[in-house]
């Protein structure tokens, strides 16, 4: 068993690698309660919400029920992961929890269920209601002090539709987030809310805070001159059958210089493809090779889409530059809430820089999870590190004698 806890401005943080969901729930609850008690606070009064990132090896429904019992009255949310980010860096087989304090955060949670039947128009209306509910909390709530975190079923294949509704309904409120994971199984992922677990669902958590914050996005690719056109695809299932009128796996392997029979998750992590949107390039990562030689993608694809083979830059340097930019913008950063693609982690392991990147995350206080896809404002992307950087509480002005 391993337990860690540390407090930053506005939040309390706990993580555990306890062997069972029940033990993990007890340890997370005990840690959160202990940290709050040090300031004379109780969880049900102090927490605007507790957000948990849960390794898929745990029984998510059991954990949800047990943490709800252990912290009665505290709003609890979360999802399963493909790996976790704790204050110790990249971890596995653990649960990481962030408690947002009422002193610094107001929170409205909106759950979207049956994503397989999600309609953008209906989704827009319900999300607009959630935005209005947040802004109606009090006269001091202003939209430029708000941000959203999106947790969404990583197997739903509806991220783009949900994000389209979010982008139009939230107006100027930025949203970042991640698609829930299932280790590397790609079978089923879970959301949790207040004692229950859900599939085919998403959680939108809308926050208002007076703490300084900034959304961020980090990747380490640039476009090469090599292009592939999707010439046959199943858009609903995100499957590409042909690239450049050739079998998809065969053509992909040829373009990136790999042997088709050896294509695997590590290959795709090291050789993503990019899509150009508005003069910028975003990763569209491949999930797997299918038995018929087609390729399953993590993001939406369509016939006629032009895919550009990526050139890989220095992952460590680009991530460090992102942290340095955020510090220049916010001053000292209290915490980075991060959504880090599992393929970035696989690529780092293959390149033998995982220890260095994990240590970089530790030094810059990143807490979050490894995802099946990332959200950044109006985009659903892959092989990217997105999140919210939180600054420190501004000093109260001194009273004039």
Convert the pLDDT of each residue in 95-117 to its tens digit: 999 999 999 999 999 999 999 99
At residue 7 the predicted structure's pLDDT band, cuts being 50, 70 and 90, is low
Specify whether 336 is located in the same domain as 376: yes
End-to-end CA distance of the chain: 53
Residues 157, 205, single domain; the answer is yes
**What distance in Å separates the CA atoms of residue 215 and residue 379, rounded to the nearest whole number?**
13
Q: Are residues 271 and 205 in the same domain?
A: no
- Answer yes or no: is 141 within a domain: yes
Please check whether residues 358 and 338 belong to one and the same domain: yes
Mean pLDDT of 310-316: 93
Within this chain, do residues 86 and 203 fall inside the same structural domain, yes or no? Answer: yes
Domain assignment present for 283: yes
H-state helical runs in 331-392: 342-350, 354-363
From 57-61, 180-184, 357-361, 392-396, the region with the lowest mean pLDDT: 392-396
Residues spanned by the domain of 286: 221-312
Model pTM? 0.92
Same domain, 209 and 254: no
Residues in the chain: 401
Q: Domain check: are 257 and 335 in the same one?
A: no
Domain end, chosen from 312, 344, 365, is at 312
Q: Indicate whether 399 belongs to any domain.
A: no
Rounded mean pLDDT of 20-33?
Answer: 98
- Specify whether 196 is located in the same domain as 235: no
Q: What mean pLDDT is predicted for residues 263-289?
A: 90
By the 10 Å C-beta count (0-12 exposed, 13-18 middle, 19+ buried), 110 is classed as: buried
Residue 212 and residue 233 in one domain: no
Question: Higher confidence at residue 368 or residue 140?
Answer: 368
Other C-beta atoms closer than 10 Å to the C-beta of 268 total: 26
Q: Does one domain contain both 64 and 117?
A: yes
Domain boundary, last residue among 271, 297, 312:
312
pLDDT tens digits along 328-376: 999 899 999 999 999 999 999 999 999 999 999 999 999 999 999 999 9
Beta-strand (E) ranges in 254-322? 273-277, 280-284, 286-289, 295-297, 306-312
Let me know if residue 400 belongs to a domain: no
Position 397 confidence tier, pLDDT thresholds 50, 70, 90 = low
Average pLDDT over residues 56-65: 98
Residue 267 belongs to what H/E stretch? helix 265-270
Tally of domains in the chain: 2
Same domain membership, residue 148 and residue 260: no
Question: Which tens digits make up the pLDDT trace of 172-217?
Answer: 999 999 999 999 999 999 999 999 999 999 999 999 999 999 999 9
CA angle 389, 393, 398 (to 5 degrees): 155
Question: What six digits make up the tokens of 310?
Answer: 């990526």
pLDDT score, position 82: 97
Domain presence at residue 396 = no
Domain boundary among 312, 340, 366: 312
pLDDT at 246 over 50: yes
Distance separating alpha carbons of residues 56 and 82, to the nearest angstrom: 7
Mean residue pLDDT of the chain comes to: 94
Residue 244 and residue 340 share a domain: no
What was the pLDDT predicted at 9? 85
Residue 396 confidence (pLDDT): 60
Residue 32 lies in a domain: yes
The answer on pLDDT for 1 being more than 50 is no
- Does residue 78 have a pLDDT over 90? yes
| pLDDT reading at 386 higher than 80 | yes
**Do the Cβ atoms of 308 and 282 come closer than 8 Å?**
no
Query: For residue 400, what pLDDT is reported?
Result: 52
């Amino acid at each position: 068993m391993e337990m860690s806890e540390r407090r930053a401005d506005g939040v309390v943080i706990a993580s555990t690698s306890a062997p069972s969901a029940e033990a993990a729930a007890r340890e997370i609850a005990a840690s959160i309660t202990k940290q709050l008690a040090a300031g004379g606070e109780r969880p049900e009064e102090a927490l605007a919400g507790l957000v948990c990132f849960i390794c898929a090896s745990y029984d998510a429904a059991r954990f949800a029920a047990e943490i709800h019992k252990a912290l009665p009255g505290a709003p609890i949310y979360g999802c399963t992961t493909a790996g976790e980010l704790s204050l110790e860096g990249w971890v596995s087989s653990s649960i990481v929890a962030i408690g947002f304090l009422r002193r610094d955060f107001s929170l409205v949670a909106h759950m979207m269920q049956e994503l397989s039947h999600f309609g953008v128009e209906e989704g827009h209306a319900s999300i607009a209601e959630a935005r209005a509910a947040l802004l109606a909390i009090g006269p001091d709530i202003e939209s430029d002090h708000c941000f959203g975190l999106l947790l969404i079923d990583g197997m739903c294949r509806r991220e783009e539709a949900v994000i389209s509704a979010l982008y139009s309904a939230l107006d100027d409120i930025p949203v970042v987030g991640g698609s829930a994971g299932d280790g590397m199984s790609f079978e089923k992922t879970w959301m949790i809310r207040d004692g229950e677990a859900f599939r085919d669902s998403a959680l939108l958590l809308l926050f208002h805070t007076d703490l300084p914050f900034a959304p961020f996005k980090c990747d380490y690719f640039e476009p090469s001159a090599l292009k592939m056109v999707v010439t046959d695809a199943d858009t609903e299932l995100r499957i590409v059958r042909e690239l450049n009128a050739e079998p998809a796996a065969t053509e992909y392997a040829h373009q990136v210089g790999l042997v088709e029979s050896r294509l695997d998750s590590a290959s795709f992590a090291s050789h993503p493809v990019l899509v150009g949107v508005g003069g910028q390039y975003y990763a569209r990562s491949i999930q797997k090779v299918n038995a018929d030689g087609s390729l399953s993608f993590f993001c939406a694809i369509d016939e006629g889409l032009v895919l550009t083979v990526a050139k890989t830059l220095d992952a460590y340097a680009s991530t460090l530059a992102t942290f340095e930019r955020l510090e220049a913008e916010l001053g000292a950063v209290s915490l980075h809430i991060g959504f880090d693609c599992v393929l970035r982690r696989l690529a780092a392991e293959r390149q033998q820089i995982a220890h260095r990147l994990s240590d970089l995350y530790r030094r810059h206080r990143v807490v979050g999870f490894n995802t099946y896809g990332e959200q950044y404002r109006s985009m659903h992307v892959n092989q990217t590190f997105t999140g919210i950087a939180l600054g420190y509480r501004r000093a109260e002005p001194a009273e004039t004698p």
